[in-house]
Chain A
Amino acid sequence: MKTNIWYRLDILTRLLTPFLLTLSLVLLNIVPLRIPGFSNVVPLLPLMAVYHWAVYRSELLPAFAVFLIGMLQDIFSGSPIGVNTLVFLLVYGVVLWQHRFLYGKSFAVIWLGFGIVSAGAFILIWALISLWNLSVLEPRAIAFQYLLTVGVFPALAWIFMRWQQFIIRQL
């Protein structure tokens, strides 16, 4: 009986890791690295996590978890609360809607998908924050941030894949 409880607890923690990983990326994203010019174009790490888990194990990162992560991203990054919340949810929704197209495809397709989806996400964030402040944001730094985000994606996706294989497995 006791082992049974521990076994269940073990599985539960493993199943919680996608959410906790994404949450820690939100915090990791705001650690001051003090690399000149970097803080302006730092890649949007939580977006990659939301995309990845939506493609592979969407049941482990339900919509309300995405909502929570987006809201925390807004709170910590200082952007108007609701902007990243909405954008993360939309990314999640689009991936689920196109799930059949993405699931089980080669990594190149997944990466391309991320490139397209995150382009939409960045444009939407740009538009929403511009609208919120009633002044058009300078798009150059945002374009760099987008490129860096797409560029870093394979590295993070690799970690997530390994994580999926060794920690979550087929639970």
Chain B
Amino acid sequence: MKDNPHSISRIATPIRNVAQRFAFMALLLAAVALMMLGKIDVLLMERVRANVTDAVTPILDIISQPVDSLNSLVLQARDLYAVRDENLRLKKERDLLLQWQAAARKLHAENKNLKNLLNFVTDPDASFITARVIADTGGAFANSVVINAGGRRGVRKGQAAITGDGLVGRVTDVGGRSARVLLISDLNSRIPVVIQSSQARAIMAGDNTHRPRLIHLAPGALVSQGDRIVTSGHGGAFPPGLPVGIVASVTDKGIGIEPFVDRSRIAHLRILDYGLTGIVAAPPIEGAARANRQTKIRN
């Protein structure tokens, strides 16, 4: 009678330990299986990610708001402090920009005339979807942000995300009310770009540092520090001519690019919508059409 509980625990404890150990092993295996599944079925994992992110979007929306307002308060205070210097600087800049405006007007008119002469087909006009950044994936392992607009507001996979400064990234996972934007600095980001001065094509590849690199640069192309990099529009997903960054370093190891957009400054961003949604085959055909057109123009 007295020994009974002891004998039970003497048997039960090892069994429970074995069961726990077995469960732990099963969970480890499940984690590895998840990783492999993610490699095999990318779409499934994207959908899981989009749906789960969607579910917590209201929470993220709320907790990111005080941080946002605090930040804008700090920025306002800083602006107020620097208002005199800023005013002087802006006046100087305005004088310079007025000259540029005159030049731009002249070129715009000339450009329009020349396009008319060539029967040039203009790119479709984009509409914007403006969204707030509600999550920034912390850490050195992935570079992406979550925005509070999704499929219901017309955000589609592959669209370009920009701020007033330039290109931010590309939409990857889309849920109903949220979407994930892969930043141009992410390891998986590949953006077709051109060097604006020489029109040499290249691919800008992120490597999880703050400076993406240029790869697949056309042989013999000249690149120097300070060159502007813009999107080329090849592949059809992105419109051509979006500002991306400037060449920051040219070394033996590669060409580093300083993006125009500072990751820590992205509070709101705009998703470019070209109305090409719904047709899966649209981007390649559009890209091919544009390539044809360009060869025609060259000829």
Contact = CB atoms under 8 A, between A and B. Distances in A.
A129 B56 CA distance: 25
Interface in A42-56: 42-44
Nearest to B132: A32
23 contacts: A27-B56, A27-B59, A30-B137, A31-B60, A31-B64, A32-B266, A67-B31, A72-B52, A76-B52, A76-B53, A77-B137, A79-B141, A80-B38, A82-B35, A85-B30, A86-B35, A93-B24, A128-B35, A132-B39, A140-B209, A141-B140, A142-B141, A145-B139
A63 interface: yes
Contacts of B188: 133
A164 interface: no
A78 B209 contact: no
A27 B138 contact: no
Q: Name which of B20, B35, B67 has the most chain A CB atoms within 10 A of its CB.
A: B35
Interface string B139-159: 111111110000000000000
Interface string B37-54: 111000001001100110
Interface of A: 27-44, 63-64, 66-67, 70-72, 75-83, 85-86, 89-90, 93, 125-126, 128-129, 132-133, 135, 137-138, 140-142, 144-145
Contacts of B182: 78
Given A63-B24, A77-B137, A82-B37, 15 more contacts: A32-B133, A32-B267, A39-B138, A39-B264, A66-B27, A75-B53, A78-B49, A78-B143, A79-B141, A81-B48, A86-B32, A89-B28, A138-B209, A141-B140, A142-B140
Contact of A90 (B20, B28, B145, B210): B28
Contacts of A40: 139-140, 143, 210, 263
**B contact patch SS:** helix
Nearest to B182: A78
B34 A77 contact: no
A12 B61 CA distance: 29
A89 B20 CA distance: 13
B34 A85 contact: yes
A137 B141 contact: yes
B246 to A, nearest CB: 18
Given A44-B139, A81-B49, A141 B35 contact: no
B17 to A, nearest CB: 11
Interface string B13-35: 00000001001100110111111
A135 B133 CA distance: 29
Interface residues of B, number: 57
Contacts of B224: none
A39 B136 contact: yes
Nearest to B50: A75
B71 interface: yes
Contacts of B142: 77-79
A67 B30 contact: yes
B265 A83 contact: no
B215 to A, nearest CB: 12
